Amino acid sequence: MSSALLAFLLAGWLIAVTAGPARAGHSGEPYVPTVRSDYVKRLLDAREPVTLVDFRKAGEYRAGHLPGAISVPITELDRRFREIPQAAQVILYCQCPIEEIATAYVFLWNQGYRNHTVLEDGFDGWLRRQYPTSK
């Protein structure tokens, strides 16, 4: 078994172990899988391929964001969702209630995305753990 395949399988297992589903809130919609900040930090430290999508306002993003994150303000998601890759792992985050990011998750799901999860405690949780940010 190649090391890349082994890493992929391990990453999938870690997601399953650390993810906690949140309900999107509407009948028939998917559960919103979440991942913890410590898991995302491990991905970044290991330089694993992951796209982080910051849904906060552009000014908030400029003030500080998760390392390597791209900015797609949630109010612009319907116009800019194609900037989010449909391959590899995507982790969405904001500084908003779970219901708001769950709506964004479902929107992407309805556009055919199946590779995305939500940062469980958002940007605030990342900061509480004193993990690094970029400007």
Query: What residues contact 10, with CB distance under 8 A and at least 6 apart?
Result: none
Look up 96 and say whether it is catalytic: no
If we measure between CA atoms, which residue out of 59, 66, 109 comes closest to residue 86?
109
Catalytic residue among 32, 90, 94, 119: 94
Pairwise CA distance, residues 24 & 27, whole Å: 9
Using an 8 Å Cβ cutoff, are 35 and 118 in contact? yes
62: tokens are 């400029």
Which residues are catalytic, by number?
A: 94
